[in-house]
Structure 1
């Protein structure tokens, strides 16, 4: 089994404050034909109150990533810490109890118990976790159903409801114990566009009121409603700056960029090392007073800007601005590896040579 790491994905600044933190997470499944690496060196932080969407092709690792966060599955290697708890250390029983108090999970196929009424389905998590006084549970469940517009069907069985109504009931159930985190795995996958928009409106309102939401979806238009879009490709988490800067590229092309760009923090006034290309994440790069060629015109590069250099030494005519700079860059060797691995990506970049995300 080889765990050769691809280029690391992003842990945001302030990761120590994250509500959800994955560090060096691998998931390897043993198959009859050998091993399958479903997740490869995932590093990710999500802060409280964030709405994060996870998108990618079927089999890319989206659901496996979410299963790490919920504790439904365990990493082969690495750490998963959610709301201060290191999930790797919990037994199955302790995980079940922890999950009931910290997570609300919304599934694509609703997962409502067919023999219980909608109201009883929403009350069930409270009964399981003994979270509220028994006398309060029915009124709390009814309040949640009112919030999602289902108070009039509270006493019906799930089979009597439309697909959209069942999903709204599932959202109410996920909120039963007032968890800080909601995880939704393809929550609109079986809904028409109008009902999907209603579900998204509920999610947006919940985030506005302080919930943290992680949503897996194939629908890019829905994914873009989140604060942050995570793209996973072949088990690798693509750096968000790559997704934002080159959204037109295929996921395979993004994956190549992810493997060859390396981050660098520059203190104020520090010179950019020889580079073939740079993408500014934070701060700015300012051109110096000298020019590598008399007619070469250099513009300041603000956060979100990227630029390719014809020669690596031209990068040395940029310095970090007064606030410093955090950049992704290609050195000469990384650029040559990219040229060998993905010449079409290099051609695409060279056709523009620079721009703003």
Structure 2
């Protein structure tokens, strides 16, 4: 995230459901920021907790622990009536199953939020409703009942309704889940255009292809957040694998002159540059030396055998004090790779070429390198 103030802040969000079989924790301490004007894809497999998270953000449901703030407003400290008024003015919600009132025409469905919020003079509401329907390409069905429309047309009408009071935030929970690929693409394009106009959009989907087209991607797995830097570096790993690596990773500042390959088990097995440019100096037992420069997003994957005690991986003295990296220690990474041997190639594929003298058994022939 950037240094700007977040429009939405999610802190320590926990949701526990009581069932006859016992308690089920669906969200496990979620911390998230969403900035104004962002188009964020929230993705995860069925049961990952993504729809529950959205219900907490919209105020449709209440967390067991934690808070959701939008600007200066703590959503879950408000009474239901206050929250409904706030949501009607500040947040448009689009559901998977459209939720259009079947006895009202499309135009009347779009007018309804305006009539409830009373932000616009009565005589101007129909003109705005038609403008919105034209904006999303549904003006020709304005006087039809929802039952006469296709699924795609109903969803487009639902988007127009969500825009009725010009909210700064749009939350869409699986809006393309019941649509064919071509129609889903049309719906997604509408959201992209709204993002370009400055709307903050949270787009929940199980479709990774759509999520990848958003400005930023948030991945949920088993009620927890996957580290976004790990997800970007290793897109072929499964969500459970990425979550396991997330548990092992530590974000910290990198100090000039620091040796990241000291004790083997505590050495940096995986290092992803996050903030600032990181320059590393390596030297082998044979005296060969190499300089590596990593920009944010680039990484090294270090599998030097434990016996190579003279191997050095030193942070250049020129590295800024503000440089940060995500690090998984070699010992923890080795244990994880033993349980996930097929993941080794995913980690090797785009790793910076750490050492030319690396043993052949640890090098993937023909793999792409960043340096």
SS at structure 2 position matched to 1:53? strand
Q: CA deviation at 1:132?
A: 0.8
State the distance in 1 between where 2:346 and 2:163 align. 46
Worse overlay, 140-149 or 327-336? 327-336
Name the CA shift for 1:142/1:336 in 2 (closer, same or farther; >3 Å). same
Aligned to 1:8: none
Note closer, same or farther for the CA distance 1:203–1:349 as it changes in structure 2 (3 Å cut).
Answer: closer
Which deviates further from its counterpart, 307-316 or 117-126? Answer: 307-316
Give the match for residue 274 of structure 2: 281
CA shift in 2, pair 1:345/1:38, >3 Å: farther
Deviations 1:201-247, CA, capped at 9 Å, x for gaps: 21111100100100011222211110011111101111111111000
Conserved? CA contact 1:284–1:324, under 8 Å: no
The aligned counterpart of 1:112 is 100
Query: CA shift at 1:315, angstroms?
Result: 6.3
Matches within 5 A, 1:1-357: 12-14=1-3, 17-266=5-254, 269=256, 271=258, 273=260, 274-288=267-281, 291-293=283-285, 294-309=287-302, 310=304, 316-319=313-316, 321-322=319-320, 324-332=322-330, 334-335=332-333, 338=336, 342-344=339-341, 347-348=344-345, 351-352=348-349, 354-355=351-352
- Structure (1 or 2) with the larger CA radius of gyration: 2
**1:170–1:286 distance in 2 versus 1, CA, 3 Å:** same
Change (3 A) 1:335 1:315: farther
| Alpha-carbon shift at residue 170 of structure 1 (Å) | 0.3
The answer to whether the Cα contact below 8 Å between 1:19 and 1:84 also exists between their aligned partners in 2 is no
In structure 2, what is the Cα distance between the partners aligned to 1:197 and 1:37?
A: 34
Mapped contact 2:236–2:346 kept (Cα < 8 A): no
Supply the RMSD in Å over aligned alpha carbons. 2.3
1:91-121, CA deviations, whole angstroms, 9 ceiling, x for partnerless residues? 1111111110111011111100001111110
Q: State the Cα distance separating 1:13 from its structure 2 match.
A: 4.5
SS at match of 1:37: strand
Given that 2:272 and 2:300 are in contact with CA atoms closer than 8 Å, whether structure 1 keeps it comes out as: yes
- Give the paired residue count: 342
Which range is displaced more, 66-75 or 43-52?
Answer: 66-75
Assess if the C-alpha contact under 8 Å between 1:117 and 1:155 holds in 2: yes
Distance in 2 (CA, whole Å) between partners of 1:67 and 1:315 is 50
Q: Using the alignment, how far apart are the partners of 1:314 and 1:296 within structure 2?
A: 10
1:77 Cα deviation after fit: 1.4
Distance of aligned partners of 1:279 and 1:192 in 2 relative to their CA distance in 1, 3 Å threshold: same
2:68·2:76 contact (CA, 8 Å) conserved in 1?
Answer: yes
* Shift of residue 338, structure 1, vs aligned partner: 3.5
TM-score, normalised relative to structure 2: 0.85
In structure 1, runs of 5+ residues without a counterpart are 1-11
